[in-house]
Structures are given as C-alpha cells and as structure tokens.
Amino acid sequence: MLLLLTYVNETNLNKGFDSIYFLKRRKMARNKIQKKTAYHHGDLRGQLIKAARDLIEQHGPDGFSMSDACRLAGVSTAAPYRHFSSKQDLLTEVAMDGLRRLGAEMEKQASDYPRGTVPSIAAIGRAYVSFAIREPHTFRLMFSTEPHSGRIDEVKQVGMGSYGVLLREVALYLSEQDITEAVLRTAFPLWSQVHGLSFLSIDGKLEVTDFPVDVDEAILIATEKLLPPHPPGQKA
C-alpha cells in the first residue's frame, strides 16, 4: 500500500500523466465490480486492434502509428509490445479480422437468394465490393502481402476460408459435388472481376469518364458473362 502510493505520487510529479492514472484507477474499480474481466487495463489487446481498425480507416495504414493507438487506448507506447511483436503484427491481426468479416458478409448476402444461382453469386460480388468501399484501407491491407511477412500462411488460410464462400456457391451453380478444377476455373475470373472493381472503386476510377460506372449493374452483367450458360434441365 505504501509502495503504491509512492509510485503514483512519483509518477504524478515526474510527468503530467495524472489522467491516465485516474483512468486506470477507474477501470480497476470497474473490473472489480465486473469480476475481473482482464488484468491491468482490461483487454488491451482487443482495444488496440479496435483502435488500429479505427485509425487505419481514418488515416490509412501508412498514416497509422503505434503511438496513436496507444494514445487512444490510454497506455504507454511500450505496452503494445506485450501483445504484438511489432506494428506489422498488429496490422496482420487487423487484416485477418477483416478477412473473416468479409467472408461472413458474403455468406450472409448470398443467403438472401436461392443458392447456386446468378443472383446469389452476384450478391457475393456486391458484398465484396461493398466491403472494399466501406473500409478501403482495411481492404487494401487485407490483400497486400508485404505487411504480413512471416505470417503469410496464416493470412492465406483465413483468406481461403472466405474464398470458400464463393467456391461453394459456384460449385452449386455447376452442380458439382466438390471444389473441382471446373469450379476453380469458373470462380477465379469472378473473383478477379470483383477484386479489380473493388480497387478501381476505392481508387476513384469509376468516374474517370463522363459515364460513371454503376457498381451493382457492372457486377451483375460481368457475372452473367463470366459464368457458363446454365446446364439445361438443371436448377430453376
């Protein structure tokens, strides 16, 4: 008890970090009531990822600084390194989180339509591009390789999980039982199309001419053209 008081006083004298310490005291009190949800800070790891997500969407991955995230979370600049080995490591976490959310949204949007049809596949495309437009910086981060060096396999696996949503839908369209080569050959151009459309959208290339591109229409038309004509006598 004596030690605690000494420490706090010393710190308050040294620098003007009172606010942080008051914050901390409040959180500690709350944690006691909430029956210890976490250690000192209360899920600093989670809050840092959240802070990073917010900051990245505001200023881009380049404009994002570890220091800013620390300020937002109310901790010292050294604290994050107990949870993430580096800034890149934190960014990788944000990227994988984004990939999972993207997969979930594609699945959800597809489920509004009869499975394995042009509309359900187009819905996946719209979910994809929507995500990119809603969170352009996170989207860019999700698909760039450089920042995730060392954990590429991990990211790739999460990404494949989301790609699987499209693959399954295409397999249904083709009436294939498995993810066969035919499914892959059909799905990839679709991915490529919406991926390109996403990047062109977030980089402001839809309005380079006098005829701005209607994203949803573009997705639907391209989907119809890129999918093989439906095998006769199958599906509705």
Partner DNA sequence: AACATATGTTAGCAACAGTAACATAGTTAG
Partner DNA sequence: CTAACTATGTTACTGTTGCTAACATATGTT
Query: Which residues of the shown chain bind a second copy in the complex (CB under 8 A)?
Result: 60, 62-63, 140, 143-147, 152, 156, 159-160, 163, 179, 181, 184-185, 188-189, 191-200, 202-205, 208-209, 211, 213, 218, 221-222, 225-226
Residue 212 C-beta: closest distance to a second copy, Å: 10
* Type of residue found at 112: D
* Distance in angstroms (rounded) separating the CA atoms of residues 103 and 98: 9
Among DNA, a second copy, none, the one that 28 touches (CB under a kind-dependent 5 to 8 A) is DNA
50: partner contacted, choices a second copy, DNA, none (Cβ within 5-8 A by kind):
none
If contact means CB under 5 to 8 A according to the sort of partner, which of DNA, a second copy, none does residue 36 touch?
Answer: DNA
Cβ of residue 102: shortest distance to DNA, in angstroms?
A: 25
Identify which of 150, 27, 177 has the alpha carbon closest to the alpha carbon of residue 95. Answer: 150
* Spatial distance between the Cα atoms of 29 and 20, rounded to a whole number of angstroms: 14
Q: How far is the CB of 47 from a second copy (least distance, A)?
A: 25
Encode 32-61: b = buried (16+ Cβ within 10 Å), e = exposed. eeeeeeeeebbebbebbbbbbbebbbeeeb
Shortest Å distance, C-beta 54 to DNA: 15
211 contacts which partner out of a second copy, DNA, none, CB within 5 to 8 A by kind? Answer: a second copy
Nearer to DNA, 39 or 111 (CB): 39
Distance in Å, CB of 226 to DNA, minimum: 41
Of 136, 135, 187, 137, nearest to 162 by C-alpha is 187
Tokens 């490591």 correspond to what residue? 89
58 binds, among DNA, a second copy, none (CB under 5 to 8 A by kind): none
Sequential DSSP letters for 154-221: HHHHHHHHHHHHHHHHHHHHTT-SS--HHHHHHHHHHHHHHHHHHHHHHTT-TTSSSS---HHHHHHH
* Beta carbon nearer to DNA, 4 or 236: 4
199 binds, among a second copy, DNA, none (CB under 5 to 8 A by kind): a second copy
Give the three-class secondary structure for 29.
Answer: helix
Cβ 94 to DNA shortest distance, Å:
13
